[in-house]
Structure 1
Amino acid sequence: MADLGTFWQSFGFAVQSTLRDFFGPSGSLQIDTVVPDIKTAENFCGICLRHIDLWKFLAIKRKERGQPKLMDDKYFVIFIDEFDALLHAENISIRDSFLGVLHSIKTTDNIYIVKSVVGIGTFNILSLNTQTKALSPFNISDAFKNPNFTPEQVTTVFKEFATEYKLEIPDDVIEDICLNTNGYVKQTDWHAGLVNLCGRAIWSYMEEHGHILNGKLSYREWKIFSGEHLGTKIAEYRTFDKMIKSLSNESSRNANNLLRTYFLGFRGDVKIPIGPKRELANFLVGEGILLPDEGTGSGMAFKMSSPYVDSIIRRRILPELDTSAPMTAPIKRPNKTYDVLRLVSDAVRYFNKDILRNAVTRAFKTPKSGKVEGASL
């Protein structure tokens, strides 16, 4: 949104609609009071004041039901999903106004009914601040990491899904989902959001192709679907859509170069020393692309968050930034085959030179013994 007034009307309508589920003639609490309109920052602050009728009637209702009194009589907990959208607000006055209001509520909590405000988003919400950097409502001690799934939980979730929708999902499909939502054998937790997206994608595929599946999602069908089709489903999700737009900007080229040089295609830890590269790595952590792992001394290790994220960057971001490519299609031989060595020779001219220079130390496929036979290019 580009307009501050529109933002507060939209946010206020969401808060008002939620409160009306509980208050008013049709509310579940059966408290006959009116939820006022919320169209401005002042309206929002007003609805959070402790002394208004809304909260007084709630206190009376709780007393009638014999419920224990809350500590300091605070009833209102606000959860805000996609909180990192404030980072990309076209009008910085939206961010400054909203964070300023939350800061006011937090620092003058004796007059407000708000017990807590929970912002949900990627790591970069920890760096959210106003333009003056003086009114942040949060600090690092307020951060909580959302727990991921264990392997047993992933299996349980998909078994329950299969039972509910009468679809057989073999163990090798579930194992493949585990591998690609995390990709690290030594890890014991899996990205809950990506696991959920895989489930949603399977449901969508089942709705469209149920007549072909015949009640079973075979491993072969899954691998076909989990290529471009699943990538599209993941990319459409708001969190990943924002990530793609952020990295597709020319201003993110250095961050993409860091990914290409050190991380893409590699599932291990990479130590990045303090300096410009560390800043780029921290930016990528904020976008949900890298995972941090505290190291020792001046080094800090990072790794790709998952193979699925790796694939999104390769397929949807890098091709948009690097448009150089052969202008003509490969020519087939008379027997309809290709000269593979010639294809490789032509393709190498378009490869990123930094990656080629690092091939000696960063090649990930090596023979168990002996040398690979082949002519020099």
Structure 2
Amino acid sequence: MSLNCLVLGETSFKNVFSVDIGNKNIVDGEIIDSSNLKISHLKTHIWNEKKDAFQIKDPDSLNLWKVDISEDNEYKLKDVSTEKDIEVKLSGEMLNPNRKFEFYFPHLKNTINIHIIVQVPAATVTSARKRKWAVNSAILQHERDIFYYVEPEGNDAILESIWRHENIALYGARASGKTTRAQQIRKLLENEGFICIYVSLKQVNIETEESFWMTLGSCIEQYACTHIDFKSASVFESVDDMKIISSDYFHLVFMKRNWNSNVVIIIDDFDKMCEANDDVKISCLANFRCIRNSRYNYAIGSIIAIGTSSRILDLNPITMVTSPFSFSETFQNPNFTFNQVQDLYRKFATDYDFTIDPEVIKDIYKQTSGHAGLVCLFGHFIQNKLLEKIGKDNVLTFSSWFTFSINSLQKDILDHATYRKMIEMLNKTNAKPAIDLLRTRFLGFFDNVRIFSDEGEKLEFLVDEGVLIEGKNYLSEFKMSSAFVDGLIQRQVIPNVYKSSPESAVPQKDDDDESLDILNILQTAIQFFDKDIISNAVNFANNLYTGSQKNMCAPRESVYSTELNRILVNWLIKKSG
């Protein structure tokens, strides 16, 4: 039997470790039959596996909690930091050290789920553990000394809008730090005396009006149960007094007379409302608008909606007969600046006592465009894959980084759920129209592109998947989210969707070393360029000097380089190894 364990505070299945339990188990030099194995023995077993990370001398100081968390419910691990959180949010049960192992685990139904949450004494965790990179998880206030963290810019403007009781939309690329920013804002507001309620629409059923309000109410109640002191904040004695099972109950619960302070509701993953039917959209937006227009009767001062694209700004159905709901203020979550990325990596190098070549940091910024998720993933890979290979000079050279980024980086990224799902979605047959647009207008080009034609659904799909980001100045402007994502798609998607390439053997020189005949390869590859792509690209061309003439329309260089890359991948790599 293999138990999957996770340390309290970790939020990803990537950090799960396994402990094997056999018919006979060696614990402190003794052989213990599984029938006699106690939870105290299990503590020792786990401690032996992770003692270097735990930095504690006594395994008995560990607390073990029985849980059953599937990968689909990974989101539940967010914002879990206390025993109360484990009990309420994860339905955890603390294991009695004197009880036998088989009392709690007679058998395991789901071998891939998380079975044990390991609670390490807090003092040792925070003082002894070096900082690490948060990978696709929000950084909470109490975790800022554990993870590498950038203070978000522009929070003052958001706070000012909330003081004015405005409804706010915050949007930005997937894994760009929106939730981390929202959690920081929540903490700042709570310090100012606001009551904040954070929910995610991922956990809300949007099929019908009834299911929407009931599940939204359940999420609000669950959050309030662990984060709100009812007696000081409201007239309610407990969460049982604020049952929300419909829009009417939502209004009743949040009447001003029931609360002692202004309430701010933060709704993450608000994009999900785009998938709802018109009845659900109208019910949600009309009720939010009603509260906004009668705000003196309600405790809700502001609603903050968070999503990946500006679609959340206009969800009003055409069938909506009342005045539309709108956000008073919108904020686009920015990527990290170069200086912020540089500062993060310098702190990382100091923590782990090595020197990082400045060119490595420049390349990371160039590849990621400062996208928070990618910046942290790159740091995570350096920490876990490259530090152990650094030589005696203790320097991470650009050569080492470049070799790793060429040979391993894409493969390692695809082990990460966000980017694996992106590539899977783009390779589906129904994504072909969006890929056609991407190939024609965006790939290999990193400036803004203005789209005036009716390509809305394709653009929304590409933004939702994290391929494109929206421009700041015009809603019709888009660009590639990063050079790395561009390269990932050119290698993992385009050759799969557009398969044409030479069938002949790859040309080699006649000399003894059998090196490739580069000129011959290029001459052959050009013959397989997609003529439609090249000819249509002139419609979106730049005015250039061509020969002795200027202001001649010619396709961007990126059109040619993208086509050449596609053919070479299919020919040299896929067909010839």
1:241–1:107 Cα change, 3 Å: farther
2:300 to 84, 94, 114: 114
- Corresponding residue number in structure 2 for 1:69: none
The aligned counterpart of 1:260 is 439
| TM-score (ref. length: structure 2) | 0.46
Deviation by residue 1:208-264 (Cα, 9 ceiling, x = unmatched): 554334665432333344457544666677776776566555555444333322321
TM-score by length of 1: 0.66
Greater shift in the superposed pair: 135-144 or 155-164: 135-144
Are 1:181 and 2:368 counterparts?
A: yes
Task: Say which SS state the counterpart of residue 471 (structure 2) adopts.
Answer: strand
Deviation at 1:175, TM superposition (A): 0.9
Q: Is the 8 A contact 2:444 2:559 kept in 1?
A: no
Relative to structure 1, the CA distance from residue 116 to residue 140 in structure 2 (aligned partners, 3 Å threshold; closer, same or farther) is closer
Q: 1:116 to 1:231 in 2, by over 3 A?
A: farther
Structure 2 unaligned regions, length at least 5: 1-204, 539-553, 561-577
Secondary structure, counterpart of 1:276 in structure 2: coil
Q: Does 1:362 align with 2:556?
A: yes
Distance apart, 1:34 and its partner CA: 0.4
CA contact (8 A) 1:180 1:308 kept: yes
Distance 1:195 1:82 in 2: 17
User: Offset at 1:303?
Assistant: 3.7
1:318 match: 494
Deviations along 1:246-291, whole A, 9 cap, x unmatched?
655555544433332232112345455x433688667756765144
Aligned to 1:161: 348
Please tell me whether the aligned partners of residues 217 and 245 of structure 2 are also in contact (alpha carbons under 8 angstroms): yes
CA distance in 1, matches of 2:522, 2:528: 10
- Determine which of 373, 379, 382 is the counterpart of 1:202: 379
How far 1:328 sits from its partner (Å)?
7.5
The 2-side partners of 1:332 and 1:228 are apart by 23
**2-structure distance, mates of 1:339, 1:363:** 23
| Whole-angstrom CA distance in 1 between matches of 2:284 and 2:416 | 25
Contact 1:24 1:35 in 2 (8 A): no
Determine if contact 2:508/2:515 at 8 Å carries over to the other structure: yes
Shift of residue 103, structure 1, vs aligned partner: 3.7
Residue 351 of structure 1 corresponds to which residue in structure 2?
529
Assess, with a 3 A threshold, how the Cα gap between structure 1 residues 86 and 32 changes in structure 2: closer, same or farther.
closer
Task: Report if aligned partners of 1:23, 1:34 keep a CA contact under 8 Å in 2.
Answer: no
Letter in structure 1 aligned against 2:454: P
1:19 Cα offset (Å): 1.7
Matched with 1:18 is 223
Provide the secondary structure at the position in 2 that maps to 1:149. coil
Task: Give 1:137 shift.
Answer: 6.9
Residue aligned with 1:21, SS:
helix
Q: Counterpart of 1:143 in 2: which secondary structure?
A: strand
Indicate which of 338, 349, 365 corresponds to 1:151. 338
1:34 partnered with 2:238: yes
| Rounded Cα–Cα distance in structure 1 between residues aligned with 2:415 and 2:399 | 24
| Structure 1 contact 24–31 (Cα < 8 Å) conserved | no
Q: Which residue of 2 aligns with 1:212?
A: 389
Q: What residue is the counterpart of 2:90 in the other structure?
A: none
Query: Equivalent residue for 2:485?
Result: 309
In the superposition, relative to structure 1, how do residues 304 and 134 fare at CA in structure 2: closer, same or farther (>3 Å)? farther
Task: Note if contact 2:367-2:483 (Cα within 8 Å) is conserved in structure 1.
Answer: yes
* 1:94-133 pair list within 5 angstroms: 97-123=283-309, 124-130=311-317, 132-133=319-320
Instruction: Provide the rounded CA distance (Å) in 1 between the counterparts of 2:436 and 2:253.
Output: 48
Separation of aligned partners in 2, 1:50 and 1:233 = 51
Q: Is residue 177–residue 195 contact of structure 1 (8 Å, CA) maintained in 2? A: no
Q: Distance in 2 between matches of 1:170 and 1:28?
A: 53
C-alpha separation in 2, matches of 1:113 and 1:278: 37
Aligned counterparts of 1:330 and 1:246: Cα–Cα separation in 2? 32
Deviation at 1:346, TM superposition (A): 5.0
Structure 1: stretches of 5+ with no match in the other structure: 60-72, 183-190, 367-377
Q: Deviations over 1:282-309 (max 9, x none)?
A: 77567651443658xxxx7654332123
Matched, 1:47 2:241: no
1:33 is paired with a residue whose SS is: coil
RMSD: 4.5
Q: Is the 8 A contact 1:16 1:38 kept in 2?
A: yes
- Give the superposition deviation at 1:95: 5.0
Q: Which moved more, 1:211-220 or 1:150-159?
A: 211-220
CA–CA separation in structure 1 for the residues paired with 2:271 and 2:220? 19
Residue 148 (structure 1) shift: 3.6
Give the Å deviation of 1:156: 1.6
> SS of 2:356's equivalent?
coil
Residue identity matched to 1:120: I
Q: Which residue of 1 aligns with 2:179?
A: none
- Which residue identity does 1:83 align to in structure 2? F
List per-residue Cα deviations over 1:179-217 (Å, max 9, x = no partner): 2223xxxxxxxx4xx234322342254235543346654
Distance 1:236 1:95 in 2: 36
TM-superposed CA distance for 1:121, in Å, is 1.9
Range moving further from structure 2, 168-177 or 341-350: 341-350
Secondary structure of the residue aligned to 1:120 is strand
Paired with 2:532 and 2:225, the residues of 1 have a C-alpha distance of 59
Within 2, Cα distance between the matches of 1:136 and 1:316? 46
Higher strand proportion: 2
8 Å CA contact retained: 2:364, 2:378:
no
- 1:144 Cα shift? 1.4
Q: Distance in 1 between matches of 2:491 and 2:516?
A: 24
2:534, 2:559 within 8 Å by CA — same for their partners in 1?
Answer: no
Q: Contact 2:440–2:559 (CA<8 Å) still a contact in 1?
A: no
> Structure 1: how far apart are the matches of 2:526 and 2:389?
41
Q: Identify if the C-alpha distance between structure 1 residues 83 and 292 changes in structure 2 by more than 3 Å, giving closer, same or farther.
A: same
- C-alpha distance in 2 between matches for 1:241 and 1:128: 29
Q: State the percentage of identical aligned residues.
A: 30
